[in-house]
A = this chain, B = another copy of it.
Amino acid sequence: MRLPPCRIDLYIFRDDRFIILRMAADTPAPRRRGRPTKTREALLETREALLRAGLEVLTEKGFSASGLDEILRRAGVPKGSFYHYFENKDAFGQALITRYADYFACKLERHFSNTTRAPLARIRDAIADLQAGMLRHEFRRGCLVGNLGQEMGSLPEPFRAQLSDVFADWQQRLARCLREAQAGGEIPEHIDCDEAAAFFWIGWEGAVLRAKLERRMAPLELFVRYFFAGLHVTE
């Protein structure tokens, strides 16, 4: 049974305690009534641990191949209590996309807004940061949004708009920085910065896929070199 979005938490009473049935959309963690086993802070901490473990596993394996068991084990959360924190695996997936998108946007902006560097150098800094992340995890972890985008054929339909929106957001952030580069004369006037930014994220996800497959930096480096060459900037 699909319930409509609700503004209050719904519970059922089972095994001598209340179990959350449906969490209000704007509630970050469930409040349990009945036997108070955990404080709200402890619940939030557990929810955090689940999100962290979920991000680790899904950036490596994608959604379909990721078992909840593995995520629960990594988070140290007992099996069976997952549904205290998330309605189902889909709701968990959507929370993970939001979390990853926020984290990634923050990482990009840290570089793109660094006015001590010229705009193109900021873009190179951001790319170097992403490449260092791939290397740190030995090319096992890719991009959560790319992984799920690839898997869209078997994912719940609401994921589609959410993933597209994330790409659109990254594209806008990059386009803004490219326009700053253009305004400063670093790239020629005729370049369409929105298109160039769209091209970047399209190709970047392909390069991440190949870097993971071949466990090496070369595909990322090659793509980045062509990207800058396309801006009529030689390395």
Contact = CB atoms under 8 A, between A and B. Distances in A.
Contact of A210 (B167, B212, B226): B167
A60 B226 contact: no
Interface stretch (A32-40, A126-134, A197-205): A197-205
Copies of this chain present: 2
Interface in A145-166: 146-147, 149-154, 160, 163-164
Contacts of A150: 62, 142, 146-147, 150-151, 209, 212
A117 to B, nearest CB: 25
- How big is chain A's contact interface, by range? 35 or more
Contact of A214 (B153, B164, B205): B164
A199 B229 CA distance: 12
Contact of A153 (B60, B199, B201, B203): B60
A195 B218 CA distance: 11
Contact of A151 (B61, B163, B164, B198): B61
Interface of A: 60-62, 64-66, 140-142, 146-147, 149-154, 160, 163-164, 167, 195, 198-199, 201-207, 209-210, 212-214, 219, 222-223, 226, 229-230
17 contacts: A60-B153, A62-B62, A140-B153, A146-B209, A147-B150, A149-B210, A149-B213, A150-B151, A150-B209, A150-B212, A152-B213, A163-B213, A199-B223, A203-B226, A206-B207, A206-B209, A229-B230
